[in-house]
Structure 1
Amino acid sequence: MEGFPLRLRWEGSTASEYDRNAVASTGNKPELLVSAASGYGGDDSRWNPEDLLGASLANCHLLTFLALARKLRLDVRAYEDEVTVFLETVEKVKRVGRIRLSPRIRVAPGTDVEKVREMFFKAHKYCFIGQSLKAEVEMVPTIEVLAG
């Protein structure tokens, strides 16, 4: 099994109201400032778990989609995703119930739009992050053919 270790650092005291800010780091990558969402006492200027989960799914889906597009020689020129993570309460416990991926995909003139759409949806099957989630993944792509 392949592993991807990281370090998460937090300091403070939970004897009273506590700081939710922490720092994630790994290898030579820039440190990632993390917290909770402001609704949970955190700092909205930092990444929260919901942001990171949405970004992780969206990035995995993008990379899988691009690999499929390359394999089929579909000329994708741009991809810009608007991701929304939806929380729900089930049996008094909060969880991520749904994540919506709404990318705008731009392709070269002459590209088969239906094949692009098919590969976008097929990418979910091979995206290991998406396959690891209990949450529903809603996919709403918009595909545009660039002017020639």
Structure 2
Amino acid sequence: MPGEHRYALTATWTGNRGTGTSGYRDYDRAVTLAVAGKPDVLASADTPFRGDGSRWNPEDMLLASLSECHLLSYLHACVVRGVVVTSYVDDAAGVMRQEGNGGRFESVTLHPRVTVADASMVADAIAAHDDAHEWCFIASSMAFPVHHEAEVVVG
């Protein structure tokens, strides 16, 4: 598993309304994201940036990447620690600040709610979030803090 891993996708703008980018309001922000062998993702800009709110936007996808990476790293950490997870739901939230024509994410906070099989597993289930944070490739690539505020219950 160590070593270099490569990823590729094709992003195709599908928002030409007939006059291309002749004006700021003259084109749609529709994009199709394709990865070989996977379903296409219909994407756009976020609504405040004249996008289609029914489609995924880059900010949604960044948040989703962080949330899923933590989840998958967390499940592995729990296996290593002998914790049996029976449920995991994360309500992730991010803060982005727009500055002129640019901007940046200031932070993301993950709010995982985890259910474990036995009360004796709670302490290790909580500690496994630190492992997951360290192991998540996406979080370690960010130039802003990624926090987690976890809740662990016994089910």
Which TM bucket (shorter chain)? over 0.9
Q: How many residues align?
A: 146
CA RMSD of aligned residues (A): 1.5
Contact 1:75 1:111 in 2 (8 A): no
Q: Which amino acid aligns with 1:102?
A: H
Matched, 1:6 2:42: no
Structure 1 moving runs of 4+ over 3 Å: 89-93
User: Offset at 1:28?
Assistant: 1.3
Matches within 5 A, 1:50-129: 50-89=59-98, 93-129=102-138
TM (normalized to structure 2)? 0.89
Aligned residues: percent identity? Answer: 32
Q: Which residue identity does 1:3 align to in structure 2?
A: R
| Residue 147 of structure 2 is aligned to residue 144 of structure 1 | no
- How far is the alpha carbon of 1:93 from its aligned partner? 3.6
Are 2:137 and 1:134 aligned? no
Quick one: which of 33, 38, 63 aligns to 2:42?
33
Structure 2 runs not aligned, ≥5 long: none
Which sections of structure 1, spanning at least 5 residues, go unmatched? none
Normalising by structure 1, what TM-score?
Answer: 0.93
SS in 2 for 1:112: helix
How far off is 1:54 after superposition?
Answer: 0.5
